[in-house]
Structure 1
Amino acid sequence: MAESTAPSHLGVGIVGGGFMATVHSRAARAARAQLTGIVSSRPERAATAAAELGIARAYDTFDDMLADDGIHVVHITTPNALHAEQALAALEAGKHVVCEKPLATTVADAQRLADAAASADLTATVPFVYRFHPLVREARARFAAGEAGRLLTISGTYLQDWLLDADDDNWRVDGAAGGRSRAFADIGSHLVDLIEFVTGDRVSSVAATKRTFFDARAEHSAITTEDAVAVAVQTASSAIGTLLVSQAAPGRKNRLQMELAGSVESIVFDQEQPETLWVGRRKGSLLIPRDADQLAPDAARLVMTPAGHPQGYQDAFNAFVADTYAAIAGAEPDGLPRFADGLRAAVVMDAVIDSAESGGWVDIAS
């Protein structure tokens, strides 16, 4: 374990004043950090967010935040196109960074950030927070121990309905703000990260097709980013599978589900039902509860409430931020998603969109 260089009281700065800023602030508070300051698109917006979230100070500019020695870690929750510039500036200012995904809108920018974080010897993480559901860690432990056997097939979906109608709109539909991919970069990246994290296997090639159901919405026209994408995948170990990602699936609010068939067991995790893990066998299938007494050690450590008392998304986010802050203090938490993982997501996203546009299989660089 590295010697700690973190201050005894970690000062947190948040960039952005929307929904994700609220989630990050709750997690920082749960980890007993100091919510030192916030900056947003306009000074008055920052002042409003500071009052709403109980943050000590609103900065007029991002540079003002970076100049404050009381800020030790910067949480970036702004639109995607701003991530690379802001994260790089924070690293160059000597700040640790938590940057929302996608880490960057291009592979080149994601590579620059991963290299900068490594050379600066700073903690820089990306919120692939579904890794922090206890039963995801239980699934990972079963694959790592060989209990599931050799990975054979993958079936994964990530379905939402918040952009179902033409009147539904958001800055993410605009390629200039969100990047060349929307649905896959936004939520498909979580699905691939989770599959690779649990199985220890990597997607090696993809064949994709995508659809934009509405080329015009309430405030945007000439939309090119996708509402849905379907992907056939092959992995480095020769497993095969399918992924379906959509932000226009009626009734599905945040349905991330993966079914991983090994040669001995199938394992199913559903993020909308995170209290149980289904383990399928030819004989004697199991339904494992989120009960620390029944889980592998790395899963049990993430159990925050007794079995039967539901634990969900904010708890997973809190655990991710707590592990990030532990890493800043010199610990080495297992499974912490860092900028290298954000780079990996950018590489996979590029391959998926390249495949959808070319109509053929695309190999993914390791």
Structure 2
Amino acid sequence: MENDRTTTVPSRLRVGFVGAGFMAYVHSRAARAAGAAIAGIASSSPGSAARARDRLGVEQAYASAQDLIEDDMIDVIHVCTPNATHLALAEAALKAGKHVVCEKPLATNVQDATHLAELAAEAGTVATVPFVYRFHPMVREARERIASGQTGLISTIQGSYLQDWLLSRNDDNWRVDAGVGGPSRAFADIGSHLCDLLEFVTGDRITRVGALSRTLFSGRANHKDVQTEDLVAAVFATKNGAVGNLLVSQVAPGRKNRLMIEISGSESSVQFDQEAPETLWLGKRAGSQLLIRDPDALSPEAARLSVLPAGHPQGYQDAFNAFAADTYAAINGDHRDGLPTFRDGLRSAVLTESIIQSSKRAEWIDVPAVKELEGTHQ
């Protein structure tokens, strides 16, 4: 069945990937679906890049990231490497005049994130961060209902992002290491998605936070002195007067990727659950309902992102594909609503640092505003 609401663009941009792990697979599928040429890949070694080239169907493996970045035939660089490397790689790509897609967190501290956001604004190239949960159609539907006033005056916001992949002491990953992943783990890794989604859907900003964090294991299989947190709980206030709470955990048994937000207003509540992304719960004092994704019954932006007919489930990869397509559309001069830029990556770094400070000091922290940046795309 044909669908004229496609997010795919006709571009044949030539894209290159730095990194050969899970996220490189996701990015490459999204780039291919968006019509790009999968032109190059670099990894931690030439051998790793060659193996990834064969697995992902990439045209060429490069001996180093710098060789890839400096190739004039490459239009867009996707940075899919450990967090601590993002600054140097994104900076090099921007200085080489490339468009950049950098995995989150954009950087491991506010200073570095600010530098990258300013550099991107000065360069005038498109620079995005894959806060891809924005691209679920039912997230856009929730956003439109709140923006149009259907939900009424927002009073409370709650959200959680729960996983269990680091539940055991024997579970380990490079993200556990603060030197590689940064000073925050659970919040920087998944709490960043949660807060981005809460602010994106409500159009509001978190202004004060009070947080608690816990590290359950001081040592794991390959890391003997773990400094990064396994979970974070926080209460917060927003610019428009709402109050809220959030819970982020990578040690919640049975929860694989449960990102949930619920926003309550004077007229109704809306709830989105990423593990059931085809529906939106609309809570009312009388007659609550479960709205099922149907392009013919959704707001324009939600319908645009509904690339499959009703009854044909869409999920995470579809959201990622839409993010890549909108990034490439922006490169071609078609700037679509809701595209997360490096400025959004900076906002995430500011929130992460505020959460860390609040937990360490055991006190409320005022969240600094992100200053306006000069530049076309930021």
TM-score normalised over the length of structure 1: 0.98
1:308 CA drift (Å) = 1.0
- Could you say which residue in structure 1 is the equivalent of 2:215? 212
2 CA distance for matches of 1:30 and 1:308? 21
Given residue 182 of structure 2, which amino acid in structure 1 is its aligned partner?
G
Deviation at 1:70, TM superposition (A): 1.2
1:343 match: secondary structure: helix
List per-residue Cα deviations over 1:141-175 (Å, max 9, x = no partner).
00110000111001111000000001100000000
- 1:43 aligned partner: 46
CA distance in 2, matches of 1:116, 1:60: 26
Q: What amino acid sits opposite 2:71 in the alignment? A: D
Partner residue in 2 for 1:177: 180
Correspondence 1:1-366 to 2 at 5 A: 9-366=12-369
SS for the counterpart of 2:267 is coil
Q: Distance in 2 between matches of 1:68 and 1:199?
A: 41
Determine if contact 2:11/2:35 at 8 Å carries over to the other structure: no
**Offset, 1:37:** 0.4
Q: 1:152 is aligned with what amino acid?
A: S
Deviation digits for residues 248-290 of structure 1 (CA, Å, limit 9, x no counterpart): 0000000000111111110000000001100101112121111
Rounded Cα–Cα distance in structure 2 between residues aligned with 1:314 and 1:7: 19
CA contact (8 A) 2:132 2:323 kept: yes
Shift of 1:9: 2.4
The amino acid that maps onto 1:125 is: T
Q: Which runs of 5 or more residues in structure 1 are unaligned?
A: 1-5
Partners of 1:57 and 1:121 in 2: CA distance: 28
In 2, Cα distance between equivalents of 1:150 and 1:356: 30
Identity of aligned residues (%): 61
1:66 and 1:173 mapped to 2: Cα distance? 28
Distance 2:10 2:196 in 1: 31
Equivalent position amino acid for 1:278 in 2:
W
Moved over 2 A (4+): 6-9
Q: Could you say what the CA RMSD is over the residues aligned between the two structures, in angstroms? A: 1.0
Q: Distance in 1 between matches of 2:352 and 2:317?
A: 26
Q: What code does the residue aligned with 1:185 have?
A: A
Structure 1 position 7, deviation (Å): 11
Aligned length: 361
CA distance in 2, matches of 1:7, 1:138: 26
Residues 171 and 221, structure 2, Cα contact 8 Å, conserved in 1: yes
Cα deviation code 1:45-68 (max 9, x no counterpart):
000000000001000011111221
CA distance in structure 1 between the aligned counterparts of 2:265 and 2:137, rounded to whole angstroms: 20
TM-score by length of structure 2 reads 0.94
Task: In structure 2, list runs of 5 or more residues that go unmatched.
Answer: 1-8, 370-378
Output the CA distance in 2 between the equivalents of 1:259 and 1:7. 37
In 1, are the aligned partners of 2:42 and 2:63 still within 8 Å (CA)? yes
